[in-house]
């Protein structure tokens, strides 16, 4: 009986922190596209709704690293249903805004571009965190260059772009350049890597500790 009382706290101190540190993959709940870009084909919602992905995930639950390592591909050949592309040939730059609906602590961005190098992929882009939908006051997360071809048009692989972890509700993707073909930037799917919030970890830890205490009391002999 005594050994059980010592084993349970040890498990809470070792196994529990390891389990809660795994980062999950999360999906934005909404998007907004700057007027300078507009939409030529597809829709902004297409890039956050799993359309075209070879396998899906559960937002906030599925392990990010495990999912990306499984090499899920995206079919950007059907851009009308599976992706988004800007409106005019002259609109090669502009802002694409992701909204999580609440604050999340994030640390990387996964991008499934348009494949095959035969339509206009996003190449240069900047990421910013923000507390609102006004670009004034946003904070730079990083400057990035995406590949112009990450697979055939119907099997595009994700690229992952890391940054210093930050808590935010909004992320701006400022598109700065394309591969030049048709000069219409576009992409197929996007997701983010998030770490558990301290509050949720503490709540789970409290629940496990309480469960351990209840089990110990039930096993104590009555007097």
Q: Are 95 and 185 in contact (CB under 8 A)?
A: no
What distances in angstroms separate CA 70 from CA 3, 111, 158, one per listed residue?
A: 41, 15, 11
The pLDDT score that the predictor gives to residue 175 is 92
Q: Are 193 and 141 in contact (CB under 8 A)?
A: no
Q: Are 148 and 183 in contact (CB under 8 A)?
A: no
Q: What is the pLDDT of residues 16-64, one digit of tens each?
A: 444 456 899 999 999 999 988 888 889 999 999 999 999 999 999 999 9
The ranges of the chain with pLDDT < 50 are 1-19, 200-211, 214, 223
Whose structure tokens read 């988004």?
84
The pLDDT score that the predictor gives to residue 21 is 63
Q: Where are the domains of the chain?
A: 22-201
- pTM of the model as a whole: 0.79
Question: What is the CATH superfamily name and number for domain 22-201?
Answer: Galactose-binding domain-like (2.60.120.260)
Q: What is the pLDDT of residues 34-45, one digit of tens each?
A: 988 888 889 999
The C-alpha atoms of residue 173 and residue 98 are separated, in whole angstroms, by 8
The pLDDT score that the predictor gives to residue 202 is 42
The pLDDT score that the predictor gives to residue 116 is 72
Q: Are 82 and 76 in contact (CB under 8 A)?
A: yes
In whole angstroms, what separates CA 173 from the centre of its chain? Answer: 13
From the list 44, 41, 125, the residue with the least C-alpha distance to 89 is 41
């Amino acid at each position: 009986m005594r050994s059980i009382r010592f084993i349970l706290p040890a498990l809470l101190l070792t196994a529990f922190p390891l389990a809660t540190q795994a980062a999950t993959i999360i999906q934005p709940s909404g998007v907004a596209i700057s007027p300078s870009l507009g939409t030529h084909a597809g829709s902004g919602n297409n890039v956050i709704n799993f359309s075209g992905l070879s396998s899906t995930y559960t937002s906030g639950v599925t392990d990010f690293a495990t999912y990306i390592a499984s090499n899920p591909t995206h079919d950007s050949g059907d851009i009308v249903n599976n992706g988004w592309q800007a409106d005019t040939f002259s609109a090669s730059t502009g802002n694409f805004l992701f909204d999580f609906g609440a604050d999340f602590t994030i640390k990387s961005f996964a991008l499934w571009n348009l494949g095959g190098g035969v339509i206009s992929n996003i190449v240069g882009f900047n990421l910013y965190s923000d507390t609102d939908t006004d670009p004034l006051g946003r904070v730079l997360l990083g400057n990035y260059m995406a590949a112009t071809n990450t697979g055939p048009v119907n099997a595009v692989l994700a690229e992952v772009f890391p940054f210093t972890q930050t808590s935010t509700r909004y992320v701006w993707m400022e598109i700065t350049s394309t591969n030049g073909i048709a000069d219409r930037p576009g992409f197929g799917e996007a997701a983010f890597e998030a770490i558990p919030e301290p509050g949720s970890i503490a709540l789970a830890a409290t629940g496990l500790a309480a469960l351990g205490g209840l089990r110990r009391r039930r096993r104590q002999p009555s007097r």
